[in-house]
């Protein structure tokens, strides 16, 4: 499938892009998550990654030399980082070769004439495909799934960027597993050996659990973590995701938090991206009376209600041993 994207609108730019093309021509592999480019509030890169990248660049005060994406999908997150962070060394991975090869073509084919980036990429588990390639990154970004595939679902049977294979050999702390944060924890563990001296990992997390769980996630993995940005989005793939969370909740995990969209709009009204991280806990408190469990959200969605969830970008820096 091929889609065209107006770069100025998608990246919310005030001037034409300097590094990537004015119109992005993106091929989407059959096993990659389909971007919601016609609905930015539901699109993860446009609504979550783009504001975070802009804030990271602002705080750096200069271009960020190197960027890595774990689970890139179509490569749109890498193109956004190239334009917004100014990264000229990029790494990216995804689970299947078809996905990363397509992402590599999308990145190469959507640079402006005369612009080049150095790429390292591979298919496989989290960061392991990059071992032996360009090793150190200033920013490692991950947008990984929380919901495991059904036991009867084969990996080749469906788009699977929103799911993962549940069985892992690595030990997972109970706090992490009970809140369905397994892959985020494992990504943090692997990322230590790929970070520059002052580098950080940015985990984009559907905040369907209390925010203090994310800080503890970082601590479990050996990091000092803080909320960089806090926002919300409409639940994409609602039938699939809500039923998956409800199933896990019924199995004893969670509880998980969802909200009616109008309650989210009200809670976040007037909050800037810069303010959202420091004000995250206060915003969360205002939302407590409006929380829906996954089971309640699933039922509400089936009755025609529009469901959303909060989103945190967690910045994690390795603790000095």
Q: Which helix (H) or strand (E) holds 118?
A: strand 118-123
List of residues 6+ apart from 142 with CB closer than 8 A: 69, 70, 71, 184, 187, 201, 202, 203, 204
Task: Compute the distance between CA of residue 72 and CA of residue 134 in angstroms, rounded to an integer.
Answer: 17
Q: What's the number of domains the chain is made of? A: 1
List of residues 6+ apart from 222 with CB closer than 8 A: 188, 189, 192, 318, 319, 321
Query: Domain containing 79: what range?
Result: 2-235+310-318
With respect to residue 284, please indicate whether it lies within any of the assigned structural domains.
no
- Provide the 3-class DSSP secondary structure of residue 163: strand
Q: Which residue has the tokens 């490569």?
A: 75
CATH number at residue 181: 3.40.50.150
Q: Mean pLDDT score of the chain, rounded to an integer? A: 91
With respect to residue 166, please indicate whether it lies within any of the assigned structural domains.
yes
pLDDT at 243: 93
With respect to residue 271, please indicate whether it lies within any of the assigned structural domains.
no
Q: Which residue would you say has higher pLDDT here, 160 or 240?
A: 240
For residue 277, give the nearest of 211, 192, 217 by alpha carbon.
211
With respect to residue 75, please indicate whether it lies within any of the assigned structural domains.
yes
With respect to residue 242, please indicate whether it lies within any of the assigned structural domains.
no
Task: Compute the distance between CA of residue 107 and CA of residue 81 in angstroms, rounded to an integer.
Answer: 11
With respect to residue 282, please indicate whether it lies within any of the assigned structural domains.
no
321 pLDDT higher than 80? no
278 C-beta neighbours (distance < 10 Å), count = 12
For residue 253, give the nearest of 175, 144, 186 by alpha carbon.
175
Kindly report the backbone phi and psi dihedral angles of residue 177, in degrees, each rounded to the nearest multiple of 5, phi listed first.
Answer: -65, -40
pLDDT digits (tens, 9 = 90+) for 179-220: 989 999 999 999 999 999 999 999 999 889 999 999 999 999
With respect to residue 304, please indicate whether it lies within any of the assigned structural domains.
no
In the structure, what pLDDT confidence band is assigned to residue 154 with cuts at 50, 70 and 90? very low
| pTM beyond 0.85 | yes
152 pLDDT higher than 60? no
With respect to residue 176, please indicate whether it lies within any of the assigned structural domains.
yes
Task: Compute the distance between CA of residue 204 and CA of residue 282 in angstroms, rounded to an integer.
Answer: 20
pLDDT at 37: 79
- What single string gives the DSSP state of each residue in 247-266? HHHHTT-----BEEHHHHHH
pLDDT digits (tens, 9 = 90+) for 27-64: 998 888 788 878 777 788 999 999 999 999 999 999 99
pLDDT at 3: 94
pLDDT digits (tens, 9 = 90+) for 77-136: 999 999 999 999 999 999 999 999 999 999 999 999 999 999 999 999 999 999 987 679
Q: Which residue would you say has higher pLDDT here, 267 or 170?
A: 267
89 C-beta neighbours (distance < 10 Å), count = 17
pLDDT at 157: 44
């Amino acid at each position: 499938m091929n889609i065209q994207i107006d770069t100025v609108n998608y990246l919310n730019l005030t001037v034409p892009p300097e590094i990537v093309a004015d119109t992005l021509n993106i091929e989407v592999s059959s096993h990659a998550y389909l971007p919601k480019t016609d609905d930015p509030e539901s699109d993860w890169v446009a609504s979550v990654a783009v504001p975070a990248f802009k804030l990271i660049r602002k705080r750096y005060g200069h271009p960020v030399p190197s960027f890595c994406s774990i689970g890139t999908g179509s490569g749109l997150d890498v193109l956004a980082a190239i334009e917004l962070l100014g990264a000229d060394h990029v790494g990216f991975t995804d689970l299947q070769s078809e996905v990363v090869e397509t992402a590599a073509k999308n990145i190469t084919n959507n640079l402006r004439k005369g612009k080049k980036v150095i790429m390292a990429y591979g298919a496989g588990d989290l960061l392991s495909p990059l071992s032996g390639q360009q090793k150190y990154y200033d920013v490692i970004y991950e947008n990984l799934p929380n919901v495991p595939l059904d036991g009867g679902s084969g990996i080749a049977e469906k788009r699977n960027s929103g799911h993962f294979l549940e069985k892992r050999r690595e030990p997972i702390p109970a706090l992490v597993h009970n809140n369905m944060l397994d892959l985020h924890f494992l990504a943090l563990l692997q990322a230590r050996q790929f970070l520059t001296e002052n580098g950080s990992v940015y985990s984009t997390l559907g905040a369907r659990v209390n925010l203090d769980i994310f800080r503890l996630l970082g601590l479990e993995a050996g990091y000092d973590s803080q909320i960089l940005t806090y926002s919300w989005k409409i639940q994409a793939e609602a039938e699939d995701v809500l039923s998956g969370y409800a199933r896990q909740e019924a199995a004893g995990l969670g509880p998980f938090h969802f909200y009616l969209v109008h309650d989210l709009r009200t809670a976040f009204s007037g909050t800037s991206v810069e303010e959202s991280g420091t004000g995250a806990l206060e915003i969360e408190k205002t939302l407590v009376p409006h929380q829906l469990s996954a089971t309640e959200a699933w039922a509400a969605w089936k009755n025609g209600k529009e469901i959303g969830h909060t989103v945190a970008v967690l910045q994690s820096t390795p603790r000095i041993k």
